[in-house]
């Protein structure tokens, strides 16, 4: 009987060692689901410092309207953004990011008298503080010394027209969706800070970006909000 017990004890110890080795070899998953995950909702948590990117959503345009839904506008077929995750906290909280890039290209004016083309659109004063909460609310904020500002250079018969716009209340808000891993901005108001009458008095920015991907992870998996 004593030999049997000794053998059972040795067998249990061996099995425990094997189980410990298997568990140690398995990938570690966080017990807590954070606001931002990749691969799926509730998937692996996005790591602080990771780079997130998204192009303009396929089949859509980035637009700057003189009035919401109006006929005078600038439309861009190419646009993209990039952000760095600063603090990805537990779900039901608010994650912090830094918007480090927003670009525009292949832009065309529509219904703007004397303007024949768009030379460039540049987002100034980057980076901007950005937050994303568990409800999908996205908020970009500027500061007194680095306001949210965009410089648009238009082509006209008289030369280049430079228009500078700043976000109303220094805020731009959007909505993140897990349906297609997108972020949508609708009629975000910008006020003319400088520029001649050829520049809109106000600009209303509308665009959808997606899918948002975590390019710091192999395979650039898509990002979800929890």
Handedness of CA 29, 92, 170, 66 (dihedral sign): positive
Give residue 31's pLDDT.
75
Encode pLDDT of 131-170 as tens digits.
999 999 999 999 999 999 999 999 998 899 999 999 999 9
Phi then psi dihedrals of residue 154, to 5 deg: -105, 150
Of 120, 93, 96, 95, the closest CA to residue 106 belongs to 120
3-state secondary structure of 108: strand
Give residue 158's pLDDT.
86
Please, which pLDDT band fits residue 12 given cuts at 50, 70 and 90?
A: very low
pLDDT tops 90 at residue 171: yes
| Helix, strand, coil shares, percent, the chain, to 5 | 10, 55, 35
Question: Which residue is it, tokens 């972020």?
Answer: 183
Structure tokens at 114: 């004397």
pLDDT tops 70 at residue 22: no
Encode pLDDT of 25-84 as tens digits.
444 444 799 999 999 999 999 999 999 999 999 999 999 999 999 999 999 999 999 999
pLDDT tops 70 at residue 13: no
Give residue 17's pLDDT.
54
Which has more confidence, 4 or 66? 66
The partner residues of 192 in beta bridges, in order of sequence, read 165
pLDDT tops 80 at residue 21: no
């Amino acid at each position: 009987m004593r030999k049997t017990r000794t053998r059972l004890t040795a067998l249990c110890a061996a099995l425990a060692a094997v189980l410990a080795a298997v568990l140690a070899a398995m990938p570690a998953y966080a017990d807590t689901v954070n606001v931002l995950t990749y691969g799926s909702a509730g998937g692996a948590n996005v790591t602080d410092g990771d780079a997130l990117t998204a192009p303009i959503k396929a089949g859509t345009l980035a637009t700057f309207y003189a009035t919401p839904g109006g006929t005078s506008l600038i439309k861009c077929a190419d646009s993209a953004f990039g952000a760095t995750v600063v603090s990805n906290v537990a779900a039901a909280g608010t994650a912090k990011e830094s918007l480090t890039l927003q670009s525009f290209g292949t832009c065309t004016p529509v219904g703007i008298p004397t303007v024949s083309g768009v030379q460039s659109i540049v987002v100034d004063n980057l980076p901007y503080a950005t937050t994303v909460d568990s409800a999908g609310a996205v908020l970009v904020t500027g500061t007194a010394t680095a306001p949210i500002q965009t410089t648009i250079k238009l082509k006209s018969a008289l030369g280049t027209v430079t228009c500078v716009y700043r976000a109303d209340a220094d805020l731009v808000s959007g909505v993140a969706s897990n349906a297609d891993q997108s972020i949508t901005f609708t009629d975000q108001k910008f006020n003319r800070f400088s520029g001649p009458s050829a520049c809109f008095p106000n600009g209303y920015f509308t665009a959808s970006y997606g899918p948002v991907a975590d390019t710091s992870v192999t395979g650039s998996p898509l990002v979800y909000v929890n």
